[in-house]
């Protein structure tokens, strides 16, 4: 996967998260057309950029973790 592909997948992941439509990690990996282990690398790269996500079992979706660090990175 090229760097551009990876950035596109990050963008799509954030969009799906905003809509609370990621599904389970396995489903999300399929939506992004990546392996599940690549999904976890993607999450690590977002964390490095100051965005933290958590998986909500109730909504079966990832969501942005609300904390000061996340707010400063988004604005």
d(CA 24, CA 14): 15
Q: Could you tell me the CATH number of the domain that includes residue 58?
A: 1.10.10.10
Question: How much is the pLDDT for 70?
Answer: 43
pLDDT tens over the chain, length 75 residues? 788 898 999 999 999 999 999 999 999 999 999 999 999 999 999 999 999 999 999 999 999 987 645 444 444
Range of the domain at 23: 3-74
Coil/strand/helix, residue 75? coil
Secondary structure tally for the chain: helices H, strands E: 4, 2
What is the tally of structural domains in the chain? 1
- What is the pTM (predicted TM-score) of this model? 0.78
User: Is the Cβ–Cβ distance between 51 and 44 less than 8 Å?
Assistant: no
Looking up tokens 């439509």, which residue turns up?
A: 21
């Amino acid at each position: 996967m090229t760097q551009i592909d990876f950035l596109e997948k990050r963008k799509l992941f954030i969009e799906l998260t905003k809509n609370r439509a990621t599904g389970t990690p396995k489903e999300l990996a399929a939506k992004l057309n990546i392996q599940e282990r690549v999904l976890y690398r993607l999450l690590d790269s977002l964390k490095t950029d100051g965005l933290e996500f958590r998986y909500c079992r109730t909504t079966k979706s990832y969501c942005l973790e609300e904390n000061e660090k996340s707010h400063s990175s988004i604005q």
